Structure 1
Amino acid sequence: MAPNVLDTNELNEIDTMLMEELPPEAALNGPPQNADHLLLRTLGTVREERHQAVRRRGRITAVTSTFVVAGVLAGGVWLGQGLGVGETADALLQGTSSTGAHLAVQVTDTESGLRLVATVDGMQDGEACWLVVHTKDGRTFTAGSWRAHDGEVTLAGSAMVRAWDVARVSVVDHDRRPLVTAS
C-alpha cells in the first residue's frame, strides 16, 4: 500500500466524524414538509411583536406629552401669579444740581433686586452719563448709561441691592464726577 493512500475504513471514520459535527438539519434533502406553515407562523410573530412595540411607544409618547404640557401650564400659572408679588415702590428720590440739572428716581424693590425709573433733565448735550446707586455702606452699582441730549430723558435700570440699603442715586459723567444726586 502507498504511504499517502487512505483505505476505506479510514475514509468511513473521517466521514462519520464529519457527520457527527453537522446538525441534523444538514442531512435533510430539501426543506421540511411544514416549512410554509413555520415561515408564516414566524412572520406572524414578528409582525405582532412589532405592532406591540409601536403601540407601547405611542402610549409612552402620549403620557410624556401630557406631563410636559401639564408642566408648562403649571409653570405658566406659577410665573403669572408671581409677577408683581414682592414688588413695592419704596421711594421717590429727587435732587437738583447747582447747574440746574434735575433728577427724579422711582425706586422699586423686587424679589431679584432693585428696579429704577429715572427722569433726568438739564444735562449737557452729548454728555456720557451713568446712573449709579450708592448704598449706605459705601458700595456703588451702575444701573444704566446713556448719552444725554437736550430735554428730559426717562430711563429704566436695575441693581443687585435692596431698596432699604439705598443711600442716594447719582448721575455721573465719564470721569465719575457727580452731575446731579437724588436722595
Structure 2
Amino acid sequence: MPDPILDRALGRVRAERARDRRRRGGVATAVGAVLAAAVLAGGVHLGRHSVPGDRVVVASAPRARMTATVSPADGWVRLRAVVAGVDPGERCRLVVTDVRGRRHVAGGWVASRGGGDTALAGAVLVDVDDVAAIGVVTEDGRTLVAGATR
C-alpha cells in the first residue's frame, strides 16, 4: 500500500530540484548574454576610437572573448584590447603572433576578482603587415582566445 506522506514528500523534492535546475539555467543564460553584450560594447568602443589603417580583431571561445585593435606605427604596432570571460585570479598575457609563428608579449594582467571586462593597452616590435594573430594566453601556456588579423 503506497504511503501518501512519503509520496507527497518525494513530489516536493522533485519539484524543488526541477525549479533549481530552471533557475540555474536562467542565471547562466543571463550571465552569458551580459558578457556577450560587454564584449560587443567593447568592440563598438574600440571601433569608434579607431583610425584608418587600424585592424580590429574580434574573437570568442567557449569561455573567453576578446576585441582588439591593432594600430600601425613605424615598424611596430600599438594594441588596445577588451577581454571578458577570464576566471578571476587567472594570470594572463596579451600575445601577438607574427607570420613566422613567433610570439610577442604585449602586456599582462591578473583577471579581476569582480569578473568584469579587462581593458588594456600594449605594444610590440612587429611590423603591422607581419601580425598574424592576437590572443590571450595564460601564464602556464593555455590559449584562452585568439583571433587572426587577416
- TM superposition score category, shorter chain reference: 0.5 to 0.7
CA contact (8 A) 2:80 2:119 kept: yes
Task: Flag the structure with more relative contact order, 1 or 2, with Cα contacts below 8 A and sequence separation at least 6.
Answer: 2
Q: Which of the numbers 123, 126, 129 marks the counterpart of 1:158?
A: 123
CA contact (8 A) 1:90 1:163 kept: no
1:96 and 2:60 are equivalent in the alignment: yes
* TM, length-normalised to structure 1: 0.50
The residue type paired with residue 67 of structure 2 is A
* TM, length-normalised to structure 2: 0.61
User: Aligned runs of 1:117-132 on 2, under 5 Å?
Assistant: 117-132=80-95
Q: How far apart are the structure 1 equivalents of 2:75 and 2:89?
A: 33
Aligned to 2:105: 142
Deviation at 1:90, TM superposition (A): 2.8
- Flag as ranges the 4+ runs of structure 1 deviating above 2 A: 87-90
Which structure 1 segments of 5+ residues have no match? Answer: 1-86
CA contact (8 A) 2:75 2:128 kept: no
Note the alpha carbon deviations across 1:52-106, whole angstroms, 9 max, x for none: xxxxxxxxxxxxxxxxxxxxxxxxxxxxxxxxxxx8533101100122x110110
Which protein has the larger Cα radius of gyration, Structure 1 or Structure 2?
1
Aligned to 1:181: 146
Which structure 2 segments of 5+ residues have no match? Answer: 1-50
What is the aligned residue count? 96
Which is strand-richer, 1 or 2? Answer: 2
CA contact (8 A) 1:88 1:110 kept: no
Which is helix-richer, 1 or 2? Answer: 1
User: Aligned runs of 1:1-183 on 2, under 5 Å?
Assistant: 89-99=53-63, 101-149=64-112, 150-183=115-148
> RMSD across aligned C-alpha pairs, in angstroms?
1.4
Note the alpha carbon deviations across 1:95-137, whole angstroms, 9 max, x for none: 00122x1101100011251100011011000100000000111
The residue type paired with residue 71 of structure 2 is T
The residue type paired with residue 141 of structure 1 is H
Q: How far apart are the structure 1 equivalents of 2:53 and 2:109?
A: 24
Change (3 A) 1:123 1:171: same
